[in-house]
Amino acid sequence: MPAEWAPHRGTWLSWPHRESSWPGNFEKVPAVYGQMVREIALSEPVHINVADRAMEDLARAVLAQASATQGNIHFHHHPTNDAWCRDHGPIFVQRPGHELILDWGFNAWGGKYPPFDLDDVIPSRIGEEFGIDVEHPDMILEGGSIDVNGTGTLLTTEACLLNRNRNPSMSRADIEATLRRYLGVNHILWLGDGIVGDDTDGHIDDIARFTDERTIVTVVEDDPDDDNYELLQDNLNRLRMMTDQDGEPLRIVTLPMPRAVVWEDQRLPASYANFYIANDVVLVPGYDADRDLVAKRTLQELFPTRRVVVIDCTDLIWGLGAFHCLTQQWPSVHSAPAPPLLRSG
């Protein structure tokens, strides 16, 4: 599986339409979504799943209002249950000379939000449309629960992948073996808990992300009285003891957490780690003007050749996700390296 910063053939999205995902606030979501699409389309082709022509027409109207580049945006009539394409979309991997889609099992984060039958088949539908071979690993996995450096190391959390609501018959060793087999990794790094308010049971893309082969950026909370403080300190301490697939120490860079974002007495999983890396831009969710600026400066240093753009996500996060949760990269096809030798994670 190529790293997210590797060249993209495009980005996959699913148009938001499930009002219950943003109860009482859905009408504000398409405008934020349109801003996201505009910035990505300046960088690479955007492919959007919609249910039918009526939804496509609605989406085109929203994108026109956002001044999105229509010529670089493509619609595909693949109906979905929800908009979180990171988790239900195709994971593209490279085999020598060709690409492959992995269609992992999807059960809406442990069966929390039925129905999910349409989301579960999106990778196979895309594979059929483009004539790309599809494999079906016998395991539940969401794209937001993993992050890779493209050279053999995968980062994830115990809270999510070991949760019994995903793969109750699989041991940690079974899960690691499946990740190695299908994603071409040989070194697996485990963090602990996810942030407060995260209904995914601890996706890694709200906590820590690779920004190059040996650098991980991770969020920290400075207030000892905040509920995220201890769990993020534990993850930070774990990261500082970890190495890459070659046994070399990792470079750990910290991002602040935004001040708590609360909606109707519910703590929302607002995090600057939920950024998305496109070919020419890094999209960062914004929540808090002062800390937004710190996050932008930090990520600009880590991605000096890309624009770093902050878009306010205080309305979007009411759906419990932001830019990384909505996107799935489509890597450019290239000759893949030989699979790495197996090594304990």
Q: In the chain, what's the furthest Cα-to-Cα distance? A: 53
Nearest to 133 by CA among 123, 120, 142, 118: 123
Distance CA 186, CA 153 (A): 6
160 part of the active site: no
Contact 25, 315 (CB under 8 A): yes
β-pairing, 98-102 vs 91-95, is: antiparallel
Structure tokens at 290: 């002062």
Edge to edge, the sheet with strand 91-95 lists 91-95, 98-102, 134-135
**Residue-wise DSSP of 180-206:** HHHH---EEEEE----TT-TTSS-GGG
Q: Check 85, 160, 313, 325 and give the catalytic one.
A: 325
In three-state secondary structure terms, 218 is strand
Distance CA 28, CA 138 (A): 38
Structure tokens at 64: 């026109």
Q: Is 42 exposed, middle or buried (0-12, 13-18, 19+ CB in 10 A)?
A: middle
CA 18 to chain centre: 19
CA 243 to chain centre: 23
Catalytic positions are: 325
